[in-house]
Amino acid sequence: MRILPSTSSVQPGNQQLPNESNFQRCLDAAYRYLNYRPRSEGEMRQRLRQRGFDSEAIEKTISKLTELHLSDDVAFAEFWRDNRLAFKLKSKRLIQKELRDKRVTPETAEQVTRDIDDEANAYKLGCSRMRSLAQLDYPDFHRRLTSYLGYRGFGYEVIKRTIALLWQDRERHWGQH
């Protein structure tokens, strides 16, 4: 967890213009929002708007965060992609959708997910389920694995190839019963 210092300069005896005070409150709110995890610029704008800040304060805040390298959609998208690949393995398509939901541009989402190998990731996920699926007959194996991989965003062709490979592995390692 990152702890970002408050830059509030509102102290007794320190006069500020109302616009500057609003900007400072907006910036402090942005720092608090960034404290939990990185955010996309779109998420930050939406959150600050919901908090009732005016457009001028939001734009100044976004500019300041960008200047401090705390707001960078490409870095955020890379963080999100790496997190999803490490902890909640999902398909390229689903990660792109999540990034768009986080208000990252489709171009940035495509750029950072370009190298994701859905075939390898689907196989890895399927392997993690093999113990619980090993005793099933082919129709049940196929149905359960199709559901499991489909829920994680993999397309039918990837799922079909993955199931064929995993069924071969199952036959080799566990044999028929």
| Residue 13 falls inside a structural domain | no
Write the CA distances from 59 to 49, 105, 123, integer angstroms. 11, 18, 44
Tally of domains in the chain: 3
Residues in the chain, total? 177
Last residue of a domain, one of 29, 48, 67: 67
Considering the domain architecture, whether residues 23 and 56 belong to the same structural domain is answered as: yes
Which domain does 22 fall in, by range?
18-67
Considering the domain architecture, whether residues 97 and 58 belong to the same structural domain is answered as: no
| Residue 31 falls inside a structural domain | yes
pTM of the shown model: 0.80
Considering the domain architecture, whether residues 93 and 130 belong to the same structural domain is answered as: no
Give the pLDDT of the chain (177 residues) as one tens digit per residue: 444 554 444 444 444 445 678 999 999 999 999 998 999 999 999 999 999 999 999 999 999 999 999 999 999 999 999 999 999 999 999 999 999 999 999 999 999 999 999 999 999 999 999 888 888 999 999 999 999 999 999 999 999 999 999 999 888 876 654
| Residue 8 falls inside a structural domain | no
**Residue 24 pLDDT:** 94
CATH of the domain at 57: 1.10.10
